């Protein structure tokens, strides 16, 4: 495993590799930005709560269950309100951006005739909205959202997504690399399968 502190340093380690597979959250963009975007979306649905997005963000930083915490503080914690807030958060079209330089990096990898893939965990609607907002389909050949393979049991470290990516790209595991930020789960399957791995030690990431 190679460790990097800047996602753009990935390009230093791609010689002799044909398949470059990325994680999504906190690898290509900031998940904190997504969280903030979701809180802004919730605020628009609860106009009776002043500064709700900031209150949710403050609760998030206190490691609280932000939605429950803020609704309870405002005396509005009901199943209906909680469901409304969660649905808004999970389904909103996020205001998020690729890390600086990532778009250019993806273009360059593609121009170098390497195939780019994406394997990400998470609820399909939310992950698809992120992918759309980031315009990733312009650069990435194959995208796998693990939950779509049959449920949360297919999330990393389940190897199924990596095996499927190999089939789709028609590249041997030895010629593929997986780049992710979560040391606890991202690299177990790809290393067992014989893939190269790059750990993006993201100091600003949630993990």
Q: Which residues contact 26 (CB under 8 A, 6 or more apart)?
A: 181, 182, 200, 202, 204, 205, 206, 207
Among 3-7, 24-28, 32-36, 201-205, where is mean pLDDT lowest?
A: 201-205
pLDDT of residue 171: 97
Cα separation, 74 vs 50, whole angstroms: 10
Cα separation, 141 vs 164, whole angstroms: 13
Distance separating the N- and C-terminal Cα atoms of the chain = 18
| Confidence band, pLDDT 50/70/90 cuts, at residue 206 | confident
**Strand runs labelled E in 88-134:** 115-120
Cβ count near 69 (within 10 Å): 17
| Confidence band, pLDDT 50/70/90 cuts, at residue 179 | very high
Q: Whole-model pTM?
A: 0.93
Per-residue model confidence as pLDDT tens digits over 32-68? 999 999 999 999 999 999 999 999 999 999 999 999 9
* 84 has a pLDDT exceeding 90: yes
């Amino acid at each position: 495993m190679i460790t990097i502190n800047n996602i753009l340093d990935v390009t230093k380690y791609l010689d002799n590799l044909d398949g470059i597979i990325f994680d999504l959250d906190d690898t290509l963009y900031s998940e904190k930005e997504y969280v903030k975007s979701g809180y802004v979306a919730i605020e628009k649905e609860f106009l009776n709560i002043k500064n709700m997005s900031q209150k949710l963000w403050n609760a998030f930083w206190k490691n609280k269950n932000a939605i429950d915490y803020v609704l309870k503080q405002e005396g509005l914690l009901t199943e209906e309100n909680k469901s409304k807030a969660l649905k808004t958060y999970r389904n909103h079209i996020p205001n998020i951006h690729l890390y600086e330089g990532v778009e250019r990096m993806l273009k360059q990898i593609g121009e170098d005739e390497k195939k780019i893939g994406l394997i990400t965990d998470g609820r399909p609607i939310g992950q698809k909205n992120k992918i759309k907002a980031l315009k990733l389909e312009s650069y990435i050949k194959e995208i796998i959202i693990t939950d779509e393979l049959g449920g949360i049991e297919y999330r990393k470290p389940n190897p199924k997504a990596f095996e499927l990516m190999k089939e789709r790209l028609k590249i041997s595991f030895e010629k593929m690399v997986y780049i992710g930020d979560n040391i606890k789960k991202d690299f177990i399957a790809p290393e067992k399968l014989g893939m190269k791995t790059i750990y993006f030690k993201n100091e600003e990431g949630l993990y």
